[in-house]
Every structure is written in C-alpha cells, then in structure tokens.
C-alpha cells in the first residue's frame, strides 16, 4: 500500500480574511526554530516507523514558499534520510504567487520538488482584493510562467468560485485565463464562510453578501463544461486534470491526477508533520498541536507533538472509506478494494444505504465500482453522511 507524507508549514505573509487554515502571519522570527523542530519530528518519526518508503510528499500550509529555500531544503533532506523516497515519487509544494520568483522556483526544482500547487484563486483583481490576497492577477500569471521557465511540468492552480461580486462572466474569464496558461491540474473550491473568520463577521454585519448557493452551483457546472471542452477530466468533486489519452476509460483517473491526494481519497495511510498535521494508519488517526510556538516547545523538550488521537473502529473505517472514495467521481469505491481491506462486501454492510441512494439516483454502479451519479456531485455531502456511523464513542483528545 502506498504511503504519503504531509508536511505543514503554518506561516503566511498575511492572513486572508476568509481562511480558517492553521496558518499565521508575522511569525518570521519562528522560521529557524520551527524548521529545526520539524526536522527533529521527522527524524524521530523515521526511526519510530522503521524508515518505510514513501510514494508522495506534500509540503502544504499555510504558505510553504514563505520559508527560504534553504529551510525547505533541510526539511526535504530530513524526509529523505528518514523515509526513503520512491524514485518516481510525487513531491508537491504549495506556492503563493506573492512569495515566489524565478530563483525560488529554480531552488525548489533543485531540492527535488516536481509538482507545484499555486494558489491563484481568481484572475480578477477586484475579486483578489476582496479575498485579501497579497498578489494581483498579473503576479499570478508571472508566477506560473516563472514556474514553467524553472522546469516545472506538473502544476496545479487553485481557483475559488462563489465569491462576492463574482458573476458567470468573471468566472468564465478566470477559467479561460487559467486554461490559456495550460496547467496540468485545476482545483476549484466553493467559497465557504468559516466561523470565526473576518469574512464571517463581515457577512453577519451585512458588509459582505452571504454566498449565493444557487449561483455557486451554476458556476460549478459551468466550470465542468468549460474544462471538459478544453481537455481536462474531472476526477474528484473539486479536481480536474489533463489527460493525454484520446479516450480516457470511464473509471480511470487522468494522468495528472494528484497522487498524494489520491492516497487520502483511497483511504490509504499517511503521516503528517508540523503544527496541526494529521496522520492516519489502519485503525488509528492522530493530530499534532496546532499552535506553532507550543509545537516547537514540545519537540524541543523531547516530547511528541501529538494533541489527540482517535481509534478508527471497523465500522467507522468502512464509512470513511466510502465517504472518501465516493469523492472520486470516476473511480468511486471498488468492491474488490473494500473487500480486501475489511473482509466483507460493501453490499453486506451498506445494503440499506445503497438501495436508498440508488433509488433516488444519487449513486450508480460501473462494473465492480460504486460512484456518485453526475447530478449528485453538488450534493455529495448528503450522500457521504449516509455511510458514517451516527456516533463515534472512541474519540479522545
């Protein structure tokens, strides 16, 4: 079974007002002790786990590219010496257009990063301004071109839809400008107003309109039409990728699908490092302390950074495997994979749920696979919830 590593860099140049990720601005003074703590955490974990080979590595955040390349280099070296990295491994780094230049991308290539995920969000300056991004559309395009010039041949662009002031026209314009750059992969996320963020306060005060769910649904469908017409295949609820086959078999993922995220969606194991990072192996999930200072102190004092853990009993694991696998809109969940993992069939465990969801046309069967029907992609959460047990009494934190 493949294994993925996730490394969380919790720093950003400025905090975007819609963001509730575990990320912090104004902590440059922690860069050096944080990098040292992260290297220690990774090194100790490599020893504890017996140095298993990893197939994918993802530097996420936050904004990993706020760290100088020398720090990222130390982090990747620690990963390499603690977890042998498979020769064809996918090594992704998230990048914010306001924190990169050609030299930084060249540096990332030199330390072994072979995939970039650039947080563009929009190609409309007024929308970027509302989002509080530190870059404009011109910088976003320049970042992409610099990445290409540095030799990156596998690049994802993140875009957001359902923004205040966004229209069908501005969304199509953003999509067309993205397509004109010819990225290998696109991740499209609906804006959600997260509790506790400035956006949530502004919506409550009437300073920002509440996102329009009907418009967001329209924009999602428009995006699929535009992207499919331009040679991208949707393979996950929020992800599209280029494929080079003239005919992509109906349950196959496109060539440039993100291999790291496939590990999550296929319910395969991953180890996470850094503040707030989650890890999962069969039967157990755990997560780190979120605050960077507390995380560093904990590691410096010789402790593990774990803040909590959860036993994943079989029924919960089966439900999660369905919930995550159904996000893969082409591949779905394979009966064979489910049976080999749990020693029982999907039908035996979920006959009631499957019958109901099939009756109302929300899921379909394709060979030995079960997947969301096309029109269920907009109501995926309602489908996923059907597979989870009502309560999970074994959680601890």
SS3 state at 28: helix
Is 96 an interacting residue with respect to ligand SF4 (CB under 6 A)? Answer: yes
CA–CA separation, 192 vs 200, rounded Å? 9
Figure out which of the listed residues 3, 7, 9, 12 binds ligand SF4, where binding follows CB under 6 A.
12
Structure tokens at 143: 């970042």
Structure tokens at 397: 């934190």
CA atoms within 13 A on the CB side of 221: 10
Is 292 an interacting residue with respect to ligand SF4 (CB under 6 A)? Answer: no
Q: Which stretch binds ligand SF4 (CB under 6 A): 15-23, 26-34, 136-144, 168-176?
A: 15-23
Site for ligand SF4 in 18-77 (CB under 6 A): 19, 21, 23, 61-63
CB of 109 to ligand SF4, least distance (A): 22
CB of 46 to ligand SF4, least distance (A): 27
CB of 15 to ligand SF4, least distance (A): 5
Using DSSP bridges, classify how beta strands 4-9 and 54-61 pair: parallel, antiparallel or unpaired: parallel
Cβ atoms 325, 332 nearer than 8 A? yes
Q: Which is nearer to ligand SF4, 119 or 254 (CB)?
A: 119
Q: Which is nearer to ligand SF4, 15 or 309 (CB)?
A: 15
CB of 21 to ligand SF4, least distance (A): 4
Site for ligand SF4 in 111-130 (CB under 6 A): 119
CB of 156 to ligand SF4, least distance (A): 14
SS3 state at 158: strand
Q: Which is nearer to ligand SF4, 38 or 45 (CB)?
A: 38
CB of 122 to ligand SF4, least distance (A): 12
Cβ atoms 296, 34 nearer than 8 A? yes
Q: How far is CA 225 from CA 185, 228, 280, 376, 377, in A?
A: 15, 5, 35, 16, 14
Q: Which is nearer to ligand SF4, 66 or 346 (CB)?
A: 66
Site for ligand SF4 in 181-240 (CB under 6 A): none
Q: How many residues bind ligand SF4 (CB under 6 A)?
A: 11
CA–CA separation, 278 vs 58, rounded Å? 13
Q: Which stretch binds ligand SF4 (CB under 6 A): 14-22, 141-149, 199-207, 291-299?
A: 14-22
Cβ atoms 267, 320 nearer than 8 A? yes
Name which of 253, 92, 115 is nearest 183 in CA terms: 115
**String of b and e for 309-342 (b: at least 16 CB within 10 Å)?**
ebebeeebbbbbbbbbbbbbbbbbbbbebbeebb
SS3 state at 293: helix
Q: Which stretch binds ligand SF4 (CB under 6 A): 9-17, 31-39, 280-288, 326-334?
A: 9-17
Q: Which is nearer to ligand SF4, 4 or 119 (CB)?
A: 119
SS3 state at 249: coil
Q: Which stretch binds ligand SF4 (CB under 6 A): 13-21, 78-86, 141-149, 359-367?
A: 13-21
CB of 222 to ligand SF4, least distance (A): 23
Is 253 an interacting residue with respect to ligand SF4 (CB under 6 A)? Answer: no
CB of 117 to ligand SF4, least distance (A): 11
CA–CA separation, 140 vs 164, rounded Å? 20
Which residues form the interface with ligand SF4 (CB under 6 A)?
12, 15-16, 19, 21, 23, 61-63, 96, 119
């Amino acid at each position: 079974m493949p294994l993925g590593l996730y490394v969380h860099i919790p720093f950003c140049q400025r905090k975007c007002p819609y963001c509730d990720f575990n990320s912090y601005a104004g902590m440059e003074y922690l860069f050096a002790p944080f990098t040292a703590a992260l290297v220690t955490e990774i090194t100790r974990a490599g020893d504890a786990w017996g140095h298993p080979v990893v197939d994918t590595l993802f530097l996420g955040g936050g904004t990993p590219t706020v760290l100088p390349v020398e720090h990222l280099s130390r982090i990747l070296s620690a990963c390499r010496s603690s977890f042998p990295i498979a020769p064809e491994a996918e090594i992704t780094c998230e990048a914010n257009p306001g924190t990169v230049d050609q030299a930084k991308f060249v540096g990332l290539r030199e330390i072994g990063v072979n995939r970039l995920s650039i947080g563009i969000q929009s190609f409309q300056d007024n929308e970027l301004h509302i989002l509080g991004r530190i870059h404009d559309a011109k910088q976003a395009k320049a970042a992409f071109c610099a990445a290409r010039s540095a030799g990156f041949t596998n690049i994802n662009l993140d875009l957001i839809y359902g923004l205040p002031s966004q229209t069908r026209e501005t969304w199509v314009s953003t999509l067309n400008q993205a397509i004109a750059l010819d990225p290998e992969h696109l991740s499209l996320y609906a804006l959600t107003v997260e509790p506790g963020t400035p956006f949530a306060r502004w919506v409550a005060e009437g300073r920002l309109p509440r996102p329009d769910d009907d418009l967001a649904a329209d924009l999602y469908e428009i995006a699929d039409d535009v992207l499919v017409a331009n040679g991208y295949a949707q393979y996950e609820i929020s992800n599209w990728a280029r494929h080079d086959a003239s005919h992509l078999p109906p349950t196959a993922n496109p060539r440039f699908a993100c291999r790291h995220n496939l590990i999550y969606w296929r319910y395969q194991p991953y180890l996470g490092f850094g503040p707030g990072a989650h890890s999962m192996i069969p039967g157990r999930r755990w997560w780190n302390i979120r605050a960077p200072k507390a995380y560093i102190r904990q590691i410096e004092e010789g402790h593990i950074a774990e803040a909590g853990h959860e036993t994943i009993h079989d029924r919960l694991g089966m439900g999660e495997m369905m919930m995550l696998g159904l996000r893969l809109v082409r591949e779905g969940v394979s009966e064979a994979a489910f049976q080999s993992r749990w020693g029982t069939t999907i039908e035996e465990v979920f006959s009631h749920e499957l019958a109901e969801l099939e009756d109302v046309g929300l899921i379909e069967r394709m060979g030995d696979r079960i997947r969301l029907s096309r029109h269920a992609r907009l109501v995926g959460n309602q489908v996923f919830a059907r597979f989870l047990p009502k309560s999970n009494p074994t959680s601890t934190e």
